[in-house]
Amino acid sequence: MNEDPVQYSKSCQLQLSMATHFLDTYFNLLNVKNNATILDLGAGDASVTLEALLPRLPNFNKLVVSDKSKKMVDFARNRFHDERIETVQMDIVDYNKSFKGYFDHIFLFFCLNLIPEDNTPQALRNIFEMLKPGGNFFATIIVNVSFFEICDSMTEENKWPPAMVGYKNVISAYRDSDNPEEKLTCFLNDAGFDVQFCKYEERKFTYGGLNEFIDHGLSIVPVGKIFKQDERAKFDEDFKEAVKNAAWWALTNVVMANKSIIFIAFWWLVP
């Protein structure tokens, strides 16, 4: 992910729309408890937490909002004014063991796919460890989005190698799979979860115009390996040009295809 929280916060309409849809559709399956301890993992700037998740939660004991990026956590911290809400920097591959067996419910929206496939088993084992027995884990995972086609075209033209575009290693686990639900379910089962629900779903989101589409793309394309400002500026210009040259955008509206997996997994204490 691009780690500029201001840019991300201004351009996260798609994430909000998708998270709202999935929560509207599946939240009742979670049986979220009163006075629960809850984690929103990989929350970024916390827009989804504030606008989609928090209004649906019953009276809770504690909500931990976390992200790997210190910039995102610092930005999110200033958005909460409730002593029950704590913001924490956390890398789920190497998490704080003080949260072991701590949470009743864990939510994760659109960021598990940012973890390289080799690290996914450890990340899921850590999430499993953080849940109390009987707790549940609800997540949405990106399988493919139109922006990745833009990055494909940029690497194919040899302007930017995959390592610089920064997206190849973090989406291959599901993007190239013939059966992404089955692949994810295997990961979850190996971590100890009892998968109650796993569904592959395609959604579409319509932008107001090309500039809005470009701004959103630049806010989420993972370009963390591009450190120099002049490189970043050149990447942004090439990205804009690649979008304009793509065959599937329209002059008045841009439709974004978003393919996601939605799942609910439980940690059951077996007698």
**Residue 32 to residue 34: CA distance in whole angstroms:** 7
- What is the model's pLDDT at position 252? 43
Q: pLDDT for 225-247, tens place per residue? A: 555 667 778 888 888 888 887 75
For domain 5-144+172-204+259-266, say whether CATH 1.10.230.10 is its number: no
Q: Cα dihedral sign for 52, 57, 59, 62?
A: negative
pLDDT at 109 over 70: yes
Q: Which amino acid is at 209?
A: G
Task: Give the separation between CA 52 and CA 29, rounded to whole angstroms.
Answer: 16
Mean per-residue pLDDT, 1-5: 68
Q: Residue 41 pLDDT > 90, yes or no?
A: yes
More confident residue, 20 or 233: 20
- Residue whose entry in the numeric block shows the structure tokens 């990447």: 235
In the chain, the amino acid numbered 109 is F
Residues 248-266: tens digit of each pLDDT: 554 444 555 566 666 666 6
Instruction: Check residue 250 and give its pLDDT.
Output: 44
Most confidently predicted of 8-17, 153-162, 177-186: 177-186
- Higher pLDDT: 4 or 85? It is 85
If you average pLDDT over residues 179-202, what whole number do you get? 89
Q: What angle do CA 174, 141, 91 make, to 5 degrees?
A: 100
Amino acid at 100: K
Q: How far apart are CA 72 and CA 4, in angstroms?
A: 8
What are the two backbone dihedrals, phi and then psi, of residue 214, each rounded to the nearest 5 degrees?
Answer: -65, -45
Q: Which residues contact 123 (CB under 8 A, 6 or more apart)?
A: 92, 93, 112, 115
Would you place residue 87 in the very low, low, confident or very high pLDDT band (cuts 50, 70, 90)? very high
DSSP structure string for 46-75: SHHIIIIIGGG--SEEEEEEEES-HHHHHH
**C-alpha to C-alpha distances, 47 to 75, 196, 217, 261, nearest whole angstrom:** 11, 28, 17, 21
φ and ψ of 266, to 5 deg: -110, 150
Q: Report residue 269's pLDDT band, with 50, 70 and 90 as the boundaries.
A: very low
**Single-letter code of the amino acid located at 57:** L
Task: Quickly state the pLDDT bin for 76 (edges 50, 70, 90).
Answer: very high
Residue 252: other Cβ atoms inside 10 A = 9
What 3-state class would DSSP assign to 243? helix
Residue 270's pLDDT is what? Answer: 36
Residue 1: predicted pLDDT? 58
Helix, strand or coil, per DSSP, at residue 92? helix
pLDDT confidence of residue 82? 95
Q: What is the mean pLDDT of the chain?
A: 83
